[in-house]
């Protein structure tokens, strides 16, 4: 499916954010949670994307998030918004 390529790109972005020690722990945890949601096999692609977007939007609102990490989360969200059922 074409969505697998999008999910792979998003997982790379989320891995980069979650492994950066300069990012607060709660943001790294949210990135990991979103990545686990994307990797679930029991959800449809649209539901995976919607759940991950919800997690990432909440994390992007955190006032302590560094600008580069917020930009990365927005990039992941914009990719996930392309996924439909």
pTM beyond 0.85: yes
Q: CA–CA separation, 34 vs 54, rounded Å?
A: 9
What's the pLDDT score for residue 27? 96
Token pair in block for residue 69: 């990490």
User: Nearest CA to 38 among 50, 28, 29?
Assistant: 50
pLDDT tens-place string over residues 23-75 = 999 999 999 999 999 999 999 999 999 999 999 999 999 999 999 999 999 99
Domain 3-80 has CATH 1.20.190.20: no
Q: How far is CA 70 from CA 31, 36, 65, 74, 84, in A?
A: 11, 19, 6, 6, 24
Local confidence band at 2 (pLDDT 50, 70, 90 cut-offs): confident
pLDDT of residue 63: 95
Sorted by where each begins, the domain ranges of the chain are 3-80
């Amino acid at each position: 499916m074409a969505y697998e390529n999008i999910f792979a790109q998003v997982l790379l972005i989320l891995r980069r954010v979650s492994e950066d020690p300069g990012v607060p722990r709660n943001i790294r945890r949210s990135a990991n949670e979103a990545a686990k949601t994307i990797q679930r096999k029991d959800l449809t692609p649209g539901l995976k994307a919607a759940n991950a977007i919800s997690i990432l939007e909440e994390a992007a609102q955190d006032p302590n998030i560094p600008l580069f990490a917020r930009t990365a989360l927005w990039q992941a969200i914009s990719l996930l918004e392309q996924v439909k059922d």
